[in-house]
Amino acid sequence: MLVLGRSESLESWSQIPVIPLSTQVRGLPWEVLLTPQDGMPSSCVLKPEWIRAVDRGGIGPLVATLPFARWPAVEQAIRMALGFE
């Protein structure tokens, strides 16, 4: 899961917004490929069409930190998946 939100805000939220990750690539225009070069253990895609909030307890340990340069692709993917583009 990719956690969304500002660090200072997340500390006080019981529900955390996330985008699930998957190794199943369907070729959708809003899928964002993440690779070991992005800090991921293996290649996967973000699934912004499944964006949701999860209980704080449902979030496991930090695996990687998404490089700042990759966030514009995430923002565009969210916009596309939700119909804002």
> Which of 63, 69, 62, 70 is closest to 10 using CA atoms?
62
pLDDT in tens, 27-59: 999 999 999 999 899 999 999 999 999 998 888
What is the C-alpha separation between 23 and 21, in angstroms, rounded? 7
Average pLDDT over residues 73-78: 96
Contact criterion met (CB below 8 Å) for 44 and 21: yes
User: What is the pLDDT at residue 17?
Assistant: 94
Chain centroid offset of residue 25 CA: 15
Domains and their CATH numbers in the chain: 2-81 (2.30.30.110)
pTM for the model stands at 0.86
